[in-house]
Structure 1
């Protein structure tokens, strides 16, 4: 399959687009003909292919998206594999899709994630990555941790057009405003929701913002959601892929790393799996100097350690508030209210130690 370049923007190919939408709530049997129509609409060379040339299967149904694997048998006998990503309903409340689409064009051009092939009303079409998704326990393995650090450093060096102001606190305060004005029809959900002290949460956010600003952390284009499900590995080629950039934005370097470390907790949210200092230093060394990790200066390691573990608290606050909004708008059967309390309580459990480390460092530096 060839994608015709209709124009170029900042050196980036403009991919085919369609206004078609696909209802993500439909069963696969009803989604399949809509996906076939979508492919014919986007890619002119497939416009006359019979339905039998297309195969559509579910790859995964995550918290915000539905991923489909599409196989197309072309007239020349070639089989082309695609991934179709359908955005979940109401995800615009927590994801800036315009920001995502702008970023993904440049990240794809820089070699990150799957190649962007087309966009449509509520999703995108990308090349298929022949690799396995990592498990949470994979991320802490020293060899893989080193490779993730190397790839993340390269990711942070990609330049995305537009404002380079960090989005973290804007997003958190936006989430806080939305989260504090919810009303649940379910009486038990409403009762649990009313136990949240938004004055306390606001004070926590403001205090942490003031502390992290003293660290003068570098601002990079960050992934912001580097959990195991967004890391893929081709074992034969030993090639690692960073995928799914829907939360990507300019942000603080330490936040992106800390958010990744929080994901060591895995699906059971066991935050005792958060990496210790030695494991963090191993990651930092390969982030700073992949070719000479043992040449990294001690002061650089210490500075990034303090930075990362201060922003670790911000990661908990971000996803706690995100969860409150999802509890209201998401159709997915998941206890988002409990997830709020899980993340917020972890913030409170870690706060004293992290603040002490940061304040001691700032006093001595």
Structure 2
């Protein structure tokens, strides 16, 4: 998707980037995310000067550029600018990863406006050829181990409940099946230049994968699962905390869209395992119930009934399986396209094998619950 099309959703004008409720700025420039920081820095400085007129005449020495994080899709940079009055203004420059054209950037930017108004994430200050500039959040990124801390887990649950209540004027069709079909179609026709990768890739039975997708879609269809505005990628790297201010932040809304509540929560639980897929870190039932209590009744978590806890537990456990299928296929696509040094092919097998390991128990749990809850389904 071209940058100009993305900007169509915004009023693009030139004003100071640090004003409250600043308008959205634009630039046609782009910065290669694969460049080392030493080479990327002058390009980022040029970009900032082009975006923000107030900074256009500043000497390059007034800018400092540092890496905030290098995920497995995007690159975050912190740019600190010494303005003419001597004050430092920090902003975050997010460079989109290459070959991520499957992400609807126009939808993402539309969502950011409404999420920002609701108090989520950083303010959007500008857009450019392959990224965006946002206000800097003074907080640290969580680790997978942080997320299972009872206090933080409770706060994440409360924030996720508020997130799910945000209204965004976009299609309410759940994203899960759209993305699963899209990822499957892309992943099943790949060709690798690396002969060893191609050999490993050819061991995958896409007929089997397609069968699994159909089965999990049919099973989850028996749940009356609420459709909410979901984050869809709530891993530790997309949650930040400022301990001094006791404030939690969700960031990175490129997958945010309407989706099943159970998927968003189950997907979050899967992310307890981190990119290494350490399955021992997946939250146990007591940890999940603690999360559910604060999600269902943020003000009175101890008043949540056992019936409601069980219902959300089964719903989440079932959609969690779909999360494994989705991100395993995503890993295959990245294995063929991404220049980032990460074993995406291995990631496919970690996630897909975890799905297969949990499938029997998960399907049995879901079918038993549905039979007991009067859905009149015969399994």
| TM-score category of the 2 structures, normalised to the smaller one | over 0.9
| Stretches of 4+ aligned residues off by more than 3 angstroms | 1-5
Match among 341, 344, 364 for residue 333 of structure 1: 341
Contact kept in structure 1, 2:16 and 2:22, CA below 8 Å: no
The answer to whether structure 1 residue 276 and structure 2 residue 264 are counterparts is no
Give the deviation of 1:364 after TM superposition: 0.9
Show structure 1 runs of 5+ residues with no match. Answer: 6-11
* CA distance in structure 2 between the partners assigned to 1:266 and 1:26 by the alignment: 26
Give the deviation of 1:29 after TM superposition: 2.2
Match among 238, 241, 252 for residue 246 of structure 2: 238
Moved more, 293-302 or 163-172: 293-302
In structure 2, the partner of 1:2 is 16
In structure 1, the partner of 2:64 is 55
SS, match of residue 92 in structure 1 = coil
Give the deviation of 1:4 after TM superposition: 9.0
Structure 1 residues 273 and 248, CA gap change in structure 2 (3 angstroms): same
In structure 1, the partner of 2:31 is 22
Match among 350, 356, 362 for residue 364 of structure 2: 356
Counterparts of residues 14-93 of structure 1 (less than 5 Å):
14-93=23-102
- Count of residue pairs the alignment pairs up: 358
Give the deviation of 1:317 after TM superposition: 0.2
Give the deviation of 1:96 after TM superposition: 2.1
In structure 2, the partner of 1:294 is 302
Q: 1:32-55: per-residue Cα shift (whole Å, max 9, x none)?
A: 122112111111111211111111
SS, match of residue 52 in structure 1 = helix
SS, match of residue 68 in structure 1 = strand
In structure 2, the partner of 1:110 is 118
CA RMSD of aligned residues (A): 1.5
The answer to whether structure 1 residue 303 and structure 2 residue 299 are counterparts is no
- In the superposition, the TM-score normalised over structure 2's length comes to 0.92
The answer to whether structure 1 residue 163 and structure 2 residue 171 are counterparts is yes
In structure 1, the partner of 2:8 is none
In structure 2, the partner of 1:9 is none
Show structure 2 runs of 5+ residues with no match. Answer: 1-14, 374-379
Contact kept in structure 1, 2:22 and 2:125, CA below 8 Å: no
* CA distance in structure 2 between the partners assigned to 1:318 and 1:2 by the alignment: 41
The answer to whether structure 1 residue 221 and structure 2 residue 229 are counterparts is yes
